Amino acid sequence: MKCTQLCARRSPAAACHPRGRTLPAPRAASTPTIQLTVQTKEGPSVNIAVESGDILRTVLLAEKVDLYTTWGKVWQCGGGGSCGTCIVEVREGMELLSERSAAEKKKLAGKPATWRLACQTLVGDGDNSGAVVVATKPQ
């Protein structure tokens, strides 16, 4: 019997992990949201409602925000934190973002504390809500 069938017998509300472990049921529809305002040099600000816990780069690309400079579009690493081309400046709401990762500490050494790598930044922790303002391409 497949794991999915076994897990469904144990708990219909549970999801099945690929290795056979049962995971808790998905969060309720009332997942906390963060109101993200993105300021760009190219045009008007963009307002996005983000589920708390989402990766900033993923959200910005899904909303078609121009995150990269010309060279960044060519040389970006795809979200691994190794290139440093997805830099954003956090103008408000820094307390709602994850701590700097090791990759960020390395790539942003000597840069302002308000600069973050979008690919390494979680917006919220899954439980909090509030407002965050970021600016793209601060360099």
In this prediction the pTM is: 0.76
Within this chain, do residues 49 and 104 fall inside the same structural domain, yes or no? yes
- Quick one: which of 136, 139, 117 has its CA closest to 44? 136
Of 6 and 87, the structure prediction assigns the larger pLDDT to 87
18, 55: one domain: no
Domain that holds residue 107: 31-136
Cα separations in angstroms, 110 against 1, 63, 67, 69: 56, 30, 21, 20
Q: Are 35 and 79 part of one and the same domain?
A: yes
User: Sign (positive/negative) of CA torsion 74, 78, 80, 85?
Assistant: positive
Answer yes or no: do 101 and 39 share one domain.
yes
Give the end-to-end CA distance of the chain in Å, rounded to a whole number. Answer: 56
Q: Are 107 and 44 found together in one domain?
A: yes
pLDDT at residue 15 in the model = 45
Same domain, 40 and 65: yes
Q: What is the DSSP letter of 28?
A: P
Write the pLDDT tens digit of every residue in 75-118.
899 999 999 999 999 999 999 999 999 999 999 999 999 999 99
